[in-house]
């Protein structure tokens, strides 16, 4: 059998002394001999050290005696080792290590679940009630300012807020039709943004915003009133405040789990979307129910609100499955059916929210004035 | 290199740019692809390379920590800290919201800051605890010539000492910082071992005073600026109105602010100098096993220049890389963007901006991370290592092995609190 003879430095793992040794490598193992040293390492037990800053040679160890080290000084010795030991780069993981990782892995997941989905939501719901109303209003103003700046930046709109006088009058009438039937701690502030997005949102403190794109997509004023009722529901339930408290609490956890940036950053963004969406689903369903209730009290048919969802479905398709989780709002079909079911007016006549002239003015709120 | 005549070992630094950059880039990409989970293995591989590049007497250091160990530490930290951190952040947000949205009066600013500092104060003991434990973990995973380094289990004593010293430093406005530096280093070093030989930090804190020279000058200039502003304010106040024609008070206030910014810049550079100079002085007063001593000739200017130019280089190159690859990816994704228009409607304008920004951001940080390893971290390490010599080196051969330190939670807590080592 061919052997490879070379020299090396040997550290016995007992003292810091460096020993010059003769090394004889065969496919069976490595024989190390020197002054008072006569060691035989079986080949299948030998591993090399990875990621070493050395231009030539190799440092090897044996699994039987993990403190001893042999430094092979020339490249040919390293090449010989690689050729005769397929396990050279294989890392050994002890069974106790595997057990520990499994145990603490379960512990970590349980802990994250407990805080994210039980403790934080419960605390946020309770604490939201203790924030003074005037603070919430001021907080909302700051948030709204930031949102306006952001939308203005990305859509190149200088005058974001639509101010058509006739349209504003119609909007005020619509708000007045709904508000007598609800109990909110703040003054309501409703405006329209010049943006093609089909969307609406509420920020803490009673600020509600409709997008021009939503007005364009709606066929009747009742559809818009339904959306408005939904946003009023968020306001009445203090959802924006509860959600921002939850987000603040969970942001720290997500940072802890995913680290700071690069890969962590991408995961962080995705996880945050999913988490806040799952928090929000309940809130959305409740806001819809609030809107249905408002319609009943204001003697309006919520079937008209349902029309809004069927229009959207026709134009853009339903968002089922994964998308509806990411999109935070429940699927359109479900919302449409819920609105239909809640209708108490049926075929009876009702007083429309707006006259056709007022409705036309509201649709023009961003082009007038 | 061995200098037998003087009985001393020189420390060499054998790291190269190519292999380290490759490790940095591959592990960075892998971290990205695994959504951050690979970061523990990434950090470990970089350490293995850097440790093995440091070679006293041409024998490399060895880092024996593993990525799995760090991952386990992370799991333990999450299990223990998740509930604490979540509640803590939520309460912080609650008090922030219920007290002030935007601090409008100086009083509100003060209270807001107080709450912020109080929050840090609550976390401070945990931070010091985590830092000591992290250092103990890294030492226990470091070997040279087959012999383990190690540190004693003494984290709570460290917390107490650190808090006391920090208090003294804060109430003396930073003047007694050398006292804090020395006391903490002495605590750590006196409990550190190489094999069965114990390290010791000799000297007193006063020997660090010369290293503080530029920092003190920066502080004095800042103080002068504060005094000038005080005088300006007083003059303006006594002369009755800001519309005062002489404008004396306002002039001296503007001058005062200029002086403060000069003092602050001076202080910033001075503090960098202090960090290197104090390291050198402390190294020159360390002993191992009561016989081996050390001599560092590390040059403050070299280290600071490496930091500044290395940082600029990394930022510049990473920006170019992000622009080029961001552009290529943007082109490749053009089709996706177009189908986005059909699927989501006109909203995709915002999505394009968001996605583009996210891509550029991610590419920039992966590139910066890899380049910074070779342009900042490695040059600095090379400066510190290659200027160090070990005296009475023949005594080292007498040192024997020490017991291994089974350290289950690794650096989990330090990583979780973001107070871990830079490398």
Question: Which residue matches tokens 């005549």?
Answer: B5
Q: Where along chain A do the CATH 2.30.29.30 domains lie?
A: 4-84
Given a cut of 50, whether residue A324 has pLDDT beyond it is no
Does A105 contact B16 at a Cβ distance shorter than 8 Å? no
Whole-number Å distance between alpha carbons of A218 and A210: 12
Structure confidence at residue A213 (pLDDT):
86
Given a cut of 60, whether residue A320 has pLDDT beyond it is no
Beta carbon pairs, A and B, within 8 Å: 235
> What are the pLDDT digits (tens) for A230-276?
999 988 888 888 887 888 788 778 778 877 654 455 555 666 666 66
| Strand bridging mode A189-193 / A207-211 | parallel
Q: Which of A274-288, A290-304, B7-21, B156-170 has the lowest mean pLDDT?
A: A274-288
Percent of chain A with pLDDT over 90: 30
Residues of chain A neighbouring B365 (CB-CB closer than 8 A): 261-262, 265
Beta partners for residue A313, in sequence order = none
H or E element: which one contains B236? helix B213-238
Does B78 contact A111 at a Cβ distance shorter than 8 Å? yes
Residues of chain A neighbouring B76 (CB-CB closer than 8 A): 104, 107-108
Please work out, in degrees rounded to the nearest 5, the angle formed at the alpha carbon of residue B179 by the alpha carbons of B173 and B180.
Answer: 75
Does A132 contact B358 at a Cβ distance shorter than 8 Å? no
Are B93 and A245 contacting, i.e. CB atoms less than 8 angstroms apart?
yes
Residues of chain A neighbouring B80 (CB-CB closer than 8 A): 111
The string of DSSP codes covering B165-187 is HHHHHHHTTTTTHHHHHHHHHHH
Given a cut of 80, whether residue B136 has pLDDT beyond it is yes
Does B145 contact A17 at a Cβ distance shorter than 8 Å? yes
Output b/e per residue, A214-253; b: 16+ Cβ within 10 A.
Answer: bbebbebbbbbbbbbbbbbbbbbbbbbbbbbbbbbbbbbb
Does A13 contact B98 at a Cβ distance shorter than 8 Å? no
Confidence of residue B339 (pLDDT cuts 50, 70, 90): low
Whole-number Å distance between alpha carbons of A280 and A276: 6
Confidence of residue A277 (pLDDT cuts 50, 70, 90): low
> What are the pLDDT digits (tens) for A118-144?
898 898 888 888 888 888 888 788 778
Mutate to test the interface with B, among A94, A98, A256, A311 (most CBs of B within 10 A): A256
Give the gap in angstroms from C-alpha B45 to the nearest C-alpha of chain A.
Answer: 6
Overall residue count recorded for chain B in this entry:
423
Whole-number Å distance between alpha carbons of A202 and A229: 11
The CATH number assigned to the domain with range A4-84 reads: 2.30.29.30
Does A262 contact B362 at a Cβ distance shorter than 8 Å? yes
On the 0-12 / 13-18 / 19+ scale of CB atoms within 10 A, A347 is: exposed
Given a cut of 60, whether residue B340 has pLDDT beyond it is no
Which residue among A50, A114, A154 places its CB closest to the CB of B48?
A50
Are B234 and B221 contacting, i.e. CB atoms less than 8 angstroms apart?
no
Structure confidence at residue B338 (pLDDT):
65
The residue-averaged pLDDT of A25-51 equals 92
Given a cut of 90, whether residue B328 has pLDDT beyond it is no
Whole-number Å distance between alpha carbons of B264 and B224: 11
On the 0-12 / 13-18 / 19+ scale of CB atoms within 10 A, A132 is: exposed
Given a cut of 60, whether residue B70 has pLDDT beyond it is yes
Return the number of other C-beta atoms located less than 10 Å from residue A340's C-beta: 17
Whole-number Å distance between alpha carbons of B286 and B281: 9
The residue-averaged pLDDT of B114-143 equals 87
Which residue among A107, A115, A263 places its CB closest to the CB of B35?
A263
The residue-averaged pLDDT of B294-321 equals 93
Structure tokens at A123: 């605390």
CA quadruple A108, A112, A114, A115: dihedral sign: positive
Output b/e per residue, B41-76; b: 16+ Cβ within 10 A.
Answer: bbbbbbbbbbbbbbbbbebbbbbbbbbbbbbbbbbb
Give the gap in angstroms from C-alpha A50 to the nearest C-alpha of chain B.
Answer: 8
Which residue among B49, B353, B400 places its CB closest to the CB of A53?
B49
Give the gap in angstroms from C-alpha A208 to the nearest C-alpha of chain B.
Answer: 19
Residue in A with minimal Cα distance to B99: A135
Given a cut of 60, whether residue A84 has pLDDT beyond it is yes
User: What is residue B36's DSSP assignment?
Assistant: T
Residues of chain B neighbouring A154 (CB-CB closer than 8 A): 349-350, 353
Given a cut of 80, whether residue A280 has pLDDT beyond it is no
- Of A162, A172, A207, whose CA–CA distance to A353 is shortest? A172
Beta partners for residue A200, in sequence order = A210
Structure tokens at A263: 């890969």
> What are the pLDDT digits (tens) for B369-419?
999 999 999 999 999 999 999 999 999 988 999 988 888 788 888 887 777
Please work out, in degrees rounded to the nearest 5, the angle formed at the alpha carbon of residue B199 by the alpha carbons of B198 and B201.
Answer: 145
User: What is residue B407's DSSP assignment?
Assistant: -
Which residue among A49, A197, A267 places its CB closest to the CB of B36?
A267
List C-alpha distances in Å: B217 to A97, B221, B226, B303: 53, 6, 14, 21
Residue in B with minimal Cα distance to A100: B72
Instruction: Return the HEC string of chain A.
Output: CCCEEEEEEEECCCECCCEEEEEEEECCEEEEEECCEEEEEEHHHEEECCCCCCCCCEEEEECCEEEEEEEECCHHHHHHHHHHCCCCCCCCCCHHHHHHHHHHHHHHHHHHHHHHHHHHHHHHHHHHCCCCHHHHHHHHHHHHHHHHHHHHHHHCCCCCECCCHHHHHHHHHHHHHHHHHCCCCCCCEEEEECCCCCCEEEECCCEEEEEHHHHHHCCCHHHHHHHHHHHHHHHHCCHHHHHHHHHHHHHHHHHHHHCCCCHHHHHHHHHHHHHHHHHHHHHHHHHHHHHHHHHHHCCCCHHHHHHHHHHHHHHHCCCCHHHHHHCCCCCHHHHHHHHHHHCCCCCCCCCCCCCHHHHHHHHCCCCCC
Which residue among A131, A132, A257 places its CB closest to the CB of B78?
A257
The string of DSSP codes covering B65-77 is --HHHHHHHHHHH
Does A259 contact B365 at a Cβ distance shorter than 8 Å? no
The residue-averaged pLDDT of B237-263 equals 71
> What are the pLDDT digits (tens) for B159-214?
999 999 999 999 999 999 999 999 999 999 999 999 999 999 999 999 999 999 99
With a CB cutoff of 8 Å and minimum separation 6, the contacts of A133 are A185, A186, A205
- Of B295, B209, B216, B306, whose CA–CA distance to B263 is shortest? B216
Given a cut of 70, whether residue A330 has pLDDT beyond it is no
Residue in B with minimal Cα distance to A153: B350
Residues of chain A neighbouring B23 (CB-CB closer than 8 A): 51
Residues of chain B neighbouring A131 (CB-CB closer than 8 A): 94, 97-98
Give the gap in angstroms from C-alpha A351 to the nearest C-alpha of chain B.
Answer: 34
Given a cut of 60, whether residue B244 has pLDDT beyond it is no
Structure confidence at residue B249 (pLDDT):
66
Structure confidence at residue A325 (pLDDT):
42
Residues of chain A neighbouring B397 (CB-CB closer than 8 A): 15-18
Confidence of residue A45 (pLDDT cuts 50, 70, 90): very high
Which residue among B35, B88, B146 places its CB closest to the CB of A267?
B35
Higher pLDDT, B197 or A56: B197
Given a cut of 70, whether residue B154 has pLDDT beyond it is yes
Whole-number Å distance between alpha carbons of B157 and B184: 11
């Amino acid at each position: 059998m061919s052997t490879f003879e070379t020299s090396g430095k040997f550290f016995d793992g007992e003292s810091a002394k460096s020993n010059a040794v003769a090394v004889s490598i065969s496919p069976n193992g490595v024989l190390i001999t020197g002054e008072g040293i006569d060691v035989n390492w079986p080949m299948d037990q030998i591993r090399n050290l990875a990621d070493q800053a050395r231009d030539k040679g190799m440092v090897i160890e044996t699994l039987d005696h993990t403190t001893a080290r042999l430094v092979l000084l020339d490249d040919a010795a390293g090449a010989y080792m690689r050729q005769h030991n397929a396990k050279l780069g294989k890392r050994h993981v002890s069974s106790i290590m595997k057990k520990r990782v499994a145990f603490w892995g379960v512990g970590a997941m349980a802990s994250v679940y407990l805080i994210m989905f039980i403790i934080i939501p419960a605390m946020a719901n309770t604490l939201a009630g203790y924030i003074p109303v005037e603070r919430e209003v001021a907080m909302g103003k700051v948030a709204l300012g930031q949102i306006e700046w952001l939308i203005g930046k990305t859509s190149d709109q200088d005058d974001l807020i639509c101010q058509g006088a006739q349209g504003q009058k119609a909007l005020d009438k619509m708000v007045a039709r709904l508000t007598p039937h609800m109990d909110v701690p703040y003054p309501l502030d409703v405006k329209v943004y010049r943006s093609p997005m089909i969307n609406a949102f509420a920020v803490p403190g009673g600020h509600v915003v409709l997008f021009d794109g939503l007005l364009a997509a709606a066929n009747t004023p009742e559809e818009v009133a339904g959306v408005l009722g939904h946003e009023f529901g968020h306001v009445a339930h203090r959802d924006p405040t509860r959600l921002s408290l939850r987000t603040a609490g969970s942001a720290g956890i997500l940072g802890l789990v995913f680290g700071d940036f690069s890969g962590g950053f991408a995961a962080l963004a995705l996880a945050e979307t999913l988490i806040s969406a799952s928090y929000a689903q309940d809130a959305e369903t409740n806001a819809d129910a609030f809107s249905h209730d408002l319609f009943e009290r204001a003697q309006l048919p919520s079937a008209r609100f349902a029309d809004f969802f069927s229009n959207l479905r026709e134009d853009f398709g339903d968002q089922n499955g994964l998308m509806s989780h990411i999109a935070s709002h429940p699927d359109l079909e479900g919302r449409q059916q819920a609105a239909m079911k809640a209708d108490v007016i049926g075929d009876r006549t009702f007083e429309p929210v707006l006259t056709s002239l007022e409705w036309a003015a509201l649709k023009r709120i961003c082009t007038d004035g | 290199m061995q200098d037998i005549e003087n009985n001393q070992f020189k420390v060499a630094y054998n790291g190269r740019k190519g292999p380290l950059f490759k490790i940095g880039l591959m592990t960075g990409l892998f971290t990205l692809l695994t959504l951050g989970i690979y970061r523990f293995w990434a950090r470990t591989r970089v350490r293995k390379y850097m440790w093995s590049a440091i070679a006293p007497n041409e024998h490399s250091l060895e880092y024996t920590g593993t990525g799995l160990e760090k991952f386990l530490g992370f799991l333990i930290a999450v299990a223990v800290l998740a509930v604490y951190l979540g509640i803590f952040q939520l309460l912080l947000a609650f008090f922030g919201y219920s007290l002030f949205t935007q601090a409008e009066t100086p009083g509100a600013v003060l209270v807001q800051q107080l709450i912020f500092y109080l929050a840090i104060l609550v976390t401070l003991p945990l931070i010091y605890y985590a830092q000591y434990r992290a250092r103990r973990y890294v030492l226990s995973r470091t070997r040279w010539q087959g012999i383990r380094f190690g540190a004693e289990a003494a984290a709570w004593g460290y917390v107490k000492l650190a808090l006391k010293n920090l208090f003294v430093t804060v109430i003396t406005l930073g003047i007694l910082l050398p006292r804090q530096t020395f006391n903490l280093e002495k605590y750590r070093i006196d409990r550190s071992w190489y094999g069965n030989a114990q390290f010791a930090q000799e000297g007193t804190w006063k020997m660090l005073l010369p290293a503080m020279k530029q920092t003190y000058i920066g502080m004095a200039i800042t103080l002068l600026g504060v005094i000038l502003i005080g005088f300006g304010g007083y003059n303006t106040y006594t002369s009755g109105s800001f519309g005062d024609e002489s404008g004396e008070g306002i002039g001296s206030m503007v001058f005062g602010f200029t002086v403060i910014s000069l003092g602050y810049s001076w202080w910033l550079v001075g503090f960098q100098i202090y960090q290197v100079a104090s390291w050198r002085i402390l190294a020159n007063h360390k002993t191992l096993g009561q016989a081996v001593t050390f001599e560092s000739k590390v040059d403050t200017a070299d280290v600071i220049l490496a930091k500044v130019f290395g940082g600029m280089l990394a930022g510049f190159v990473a920006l170019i890389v992000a622009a080029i690859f961001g552009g290529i990816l943007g082109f490749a994704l053009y089709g996706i963007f177009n189908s986005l228009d059909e699927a989501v409607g006109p909203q995709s304008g915002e999505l394009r901006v968001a996605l583009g920004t996210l891509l550029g951001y991610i590419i920039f940080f992966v590139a910066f991370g890899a380049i910074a390893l070779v342009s900042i971290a490695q040059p600095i390490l090379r400066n510190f290592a290659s200027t160090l010599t070990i005296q009475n080196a023949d005594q080292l051969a007498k040192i024997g092995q020490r017991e291994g330190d089974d350290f289950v939670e690794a650096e989990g807590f330090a990583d979780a609190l973001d107070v871990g080592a830079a490398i």
